[in-house]
Amino acid sequence: MKVLVLGNAHRAGVSEAAGRLLPFLRQHCDIVAVDLLQEMDLTPLSADLTLVLGGDGAILRAARQMGYRQTPVLGINLGRLGFLADLSPEELCACFPRVRGCDYRITEHLMFECEVEGPGGRRTFLGLNEVAVQGGPPFHILEMDLIINGEPVCTYSGDGLIVSTPIGSTAHSLSAGGPILGQELPAFVITPLCPHTLTNRPLVDSADHVYAIVLRRGTPTTSLIIDGQEDLPFTVQHRVTIRKAPVTFKLVKVPGRSYYQTLHDKLHWGAQPKYRIEPSSPSERSSG
């Protein structure tokens, strides 16, 4: 098995974990390359599996770094939440013989292309989580038009707007009141940030459609943020177009790790509230 090892050495614990894991991995597979600084051109490299050390942010960077040649990713969680990177280094060592024997499932997930047009020309970005328009100081209400397949659909007034993939639906979009989508759905969710009207609610629509956002009114520091990592100025002279990418993100799922289990373990989704039981009579209250 040929393996790429990626990660973010600027995060605490990543270099140390790589130092412990690499000798083990070299005994069980062929390591094609190690890049903990996220600076290599991965295009000419061929591998069966990419191990990403870090958290979900490291996986987002790795997905963009692999570009249009996506290799299945197995994430090793060295961060806090680890929604995508859900194996610890110890669990990786325990299950790696099964991984080497291809005893795992690969799930494929929607990625997007974000095309930004403005006075500086046109740029295209590949992403996995979401595209967000957010204002900065001075903090005034933003006004944005949403256009789907060339048809003006809605004008949003508020603090911003998020266009998210199913993978990104459990990130910024969820905290803004958006729904949780099944990770393999071919759909986008559009979630307004603090909309100034009760009629603006999240919208789920097909990934086969093309979405455009035009800013009607912004602030000098309004930004377009891609996957929480690329931060671009966004003005009334810009237009952003979001569409399904021609490649998918491939995530390795080892046996015993389901999406709903991850929702329950990481986000406590579906858990019952822990009510305090009050004594039912004066005698019970005094005896308690």
pLDDT tens sequence across 226-255: 999 999 999 999 999 999 999 999 999 888
Is residue 47's pLDDT more than 90?
yes
Q: In the chain, what are the domains?
A: 2-103 (3.40.50.10330), 111-246 (2.60.200.30)
227 catalytic residue (yes or no): no
Residue of higher predicted confidence among 169 and 288: 169
Is residue 20's pLDDT more than 90?
yes
The pLDDT value recorded for residue 284 is 54
Contact 60, 67 (CB under 8 A): no
How much is the pTM?
A: 0.89
- Indicate left, alpha or beta for 20 from its phi (over 0: left) and psi (-120 to 50: alpha): alpha
The pLDDT value recorded for residue 205 is 98
Least confident of 54-68, 209-223, 227-241, 271-285: 271-285
| 35, 56, 145, 231: the active-site residue | 56
pLDDT tens sequence across 179-191: 999 999 999 999 9
Measured from the Cβ of residue 1, the count of other Cβ atoms closer than 10 Å reads 15
